[in-house]
Structure 1
Amino acid sequence: MVTRKQTTFKPIFTITPAVAGNLMRIEAVRQAIQSLPITPRVLASLRETARLFSTHYSTMIEGNRLTQEQVVQVIGQEQHFPGRERDEGEVKGYYAALDEVERAAQQREAVTETAVQRLHALVMGGGKTRVRPTPYRDGQNVIRDSRSSGIVYMPPEAKDVSPLMKQLVAWLNRQDDLPVPIRAGVAHYQFATIHPYYDGNGRTARLLTTLILHLGGYDLKGLYALEEYYARALKDYYEALTVGPSHNYYVGRAEADITGWVSYFIEGMAVSFEKVRNQAESESGRGGKDQTKLLRNLDARQRKALALFRRSREATAKEIGAIFGFQPRTAAHLCQRWVESGFLEVTDPAKKSRRYRLNEVYEAMLNNEK
């Protein structure tokens, strides 16, 4: 196998007029969404739809057979589809990893190798939230054409994966002069190029992209799903990622000009962002007070629980736990943590009939919708 000495990661690309124009489109939407009044009900609905879209399309790219409707049923209703257990695990894992992206962005955590390894562990964890960061692969892997079985891409050897990942993370944390969308696009490309795991590389690359965008202020209130853009034309997605004179990483791939990929990625962001703006502008016409800042204090489960309290002023731990498919003891612990954090208040302290309501701040927020 051809090998070479590792060098500092320096991506090669050109910011073409088309890329510059699409960056301006992205900025225009970003500013419009930040000032657009969206009610808690509409925002929660749009955010959840975007998360489910991200989950469906990102796993579909990798061959997941669940339909969009079935993904909603697996995530929201804990339904099972015989013979689709692996597919169910993939969508649960991706959804759990999206929670982690959102949490890390809210906490303003830096992008580290451990953070990336944790995202991968969640992707492969089947919905488990207690996972250990997964180490990189310890052997060679290859990407083959599903029809001909020919090698499409041969990633770097296992011994080079760790140094390459260190270089990527170091580059991400020192690139303050590049626009955030370009940094995210380069990170997506380089992670897929390194291919540090035997499986789950594509999903983790797309999650890393989302994390970088959110940390950089391009969260767009959590309303977009870039994965849909890729999945709608998979051939274009894979062709944009395929650069260099050879399928072998060591034969030109590391020094390849990735202008084509950067152009593809930035255009995809612009298209996805403008789609969100059009939808959000339509929904915002319903009126109401924008509560984005207050909602950002809530984690994904708390925002999901708001739907229950829209229907009923009070709820039991069992009713709250049913939303997430939790057992009674787990649901009770969750409610206790929410009481301690100030999200919920106890209205009936009796152990057998204990009921909860929202803290007055969040209850007032829901009342403002009506």
Structure 2
Amino acid sequence: MTLFIGTKNRKISMFQPNFKYTNKIVRLLARIQAAREVILISPLIPAWERELQREALIKQTHHTTSIEGNQLTLEEVSLLIEGKDIPAGEKDKNEVKNYVDVLEYIDSLEESTSITEKIFLEIHRLTVKDILPAASAGNYRKVRVVVGNPKTGKITYVPPEPEEVPLLTRSLLEWLNSAEALDLMPAIQAGIAHYEIARIHPFLDGNGRTARALSTLILTKRGFDTKKFFALEEYYNEDRQAYYSALADADAKGGELTGWLEYFLFGIAVETSRVENTVKKLSSDRSMKEKFGQIGLSNRQIKAVGYLKEKGRITNKEYQELCDVSQPTANRDLQDMVDKNVLQQKGKKSQQIIYVLNF
């Protein structure tokens, strides 16, 4: 099928991804699947699950906005998500608040195979709300744009003409909803969609965040449920140059996506393996759940349990240093764990109270 656009009568062929399965892609898919299975069947206590999900939400929001130049730290993003005001520029704060809204919107969607243009444009509208003019939020660009290095002024990529954008995007979405796409693993679908939105560059701003959000939508709504524990954006942000280089390499190869998908899938494998290790550590000793039932612990307290399993004991000063909190906060956290029978006091040393696990 061929689509026609504009007065130039230029042709756009129906989107068809160009990649091949390599041994590396097959190995990465197998590794991702193995980690995913561990995460899904882990006997985590629900309060721990909520804490891991909250941590992933903060990381997703921080890293996806940081990639685009947002100056807020991970701690500042956490405070903002908690509803606290911070001394920062309005644009930076809006970007963070907006992406939380995007993730909540994605979470609100029903489990469905259909990804419509309406959903896609709403993701963009939420992404740039109060940042771009209302007429540009959730609407395709109507002008030419270029991608370049703002420091050197060098142009690195020229996206398609504005009159091509709507049909190119619709062609991608039509493919995403096709039987051919649905036969692929969600991680492959997500990687293909991510690249193609970055290539089309459909909007004046927010293209990268929208591409990453679309990947998240595909992963979470098409069977790749890891309980929302991992933040792929963290992998991108750790080495932004590698991220942009992988996209640029696919551009240089005329949209041949094998190398990009190897990069993309490696990132998912890294992040799912990280979560797998966390889950294994938290779930390795079932005696706690068997003895006490379900206990709600904070992320700091979970971290302390891991420390205690390794070291056998902890003092209130060690807890303070481990979790980077004040002495009163450390004392409150530890007393809470004593009250819940997770810890017991085992004496004092140099004015410091010693605690051990009670199971």
Tell me the TM-score range normalised by the shorter chain: 0.7 to 0.9
Instruction: State the partner residue of 1:57.
Output: 63
Amino acid at match of 1:277: E
Matches within 5 A, 1:229-244: 229-243=235-249
Find the counterpart in structure 1 of residue 123 from structure 2. 119
Q: How many angstroms does 1:132 deviate by?
A: 11
The SS at the match of 1:6 is strand
- What residue is the counterpart of 2:261 in the other structure? 262
CA drift at 1:34: 1.4
Equivalenced residues, count: 281
The one-character-per-residue Cα deviations of 1:47-103 (angstroms, maximum 9, x if unpaired) are: 000000000000000000000001011111321314x21100000001110111111
- Aligned partner of 1:156 among 152, 155, 160: 160
CA gap of 1:140–1:132, structure 2 versus 1, over 3 A, is: closer
2:19 is the counterpart of 1:13 = yes
**CA shift for structure 1 position 31:** 1.2
Q: 1:144 aligns with which of 148, 151, 157?
A: 148
Instruction: Supply the AA of the counterpart residue of 2:268.
Output: M
Letter in 2 for 1:179: M
Distance between the aligned counterparts of 1:228 and 1:69, measured in 2?
14
- TM-score, normalised with respect to structure 1: 0.71
Deviation of the 1:288 alpha carbon = 3.7
The residue aligned with 1:326 is none
Matches of 2:137 and 2:108, distance apart in 1: 16
- Letter matched to residue 149 of structure 2: D
Partner Cα separation in structure 1 for residue 81 and residue 21 of structure 2 = 40
> Is 1:172 aligned with 2:172?
no
Distance 1:124 1:36 in 2: 37
2:194 maps to what in 1? 188
Q: Is the 8 A contact 1:54 1:225 kept in 2?
A: yes
Q: How far apart are residue 152 of structure 1 and its match?
A: 1.0
Indicate the SS of the match to 2:47: helix
Q: Structure 2 counterpart of 1:91, which letter? A: V
Q: What is the 5 A alignment of 1:48-127?
A: 48-82=54-88, 84-104=89-109, 106-108=110-112, 110-125=114-129
Describe how 1:308-319 pairs up with structure 2 within 5 A: none
Tell me the equivalent position of 1:43. 49
The residue matched to 1:15 in structure 2 has which SS? coil
Amino acid at match of 1:25: R
Q: 2:250, 2:259 within 8 Å by CA — same for their partners in 1?
A: no
Q: Can you give the 5+ residue segments of structure 1 that lack an aligned partner in the other structure?
A: 247-251, 290-306, 308-366
Identity of aligned residues (%): 37
Preserved contact between residue 63 and residue 237 of structure 2 (Cα < 8 Å): yes
C-alpha deviations, 1:216-271, integer Å up to 9, x for none? 2112000000000000011110000013676xxxxx74xx3111101100111111
- Aligned residue identity for 1:257: E
CA contact (8 A) 1:92 1:126 kept: no
TM-score (norm 2): 0.73
Q: Tell me how far 1:38 sits from its aligned partner.
A: 1.4
Q: How far off is 1:14 after superposition?
A: 1.2
Larger Rg: 2
In 2: Cα distance, 1:3 partner to 1:182 partner: 32
Amino acid at match of 2:274: K
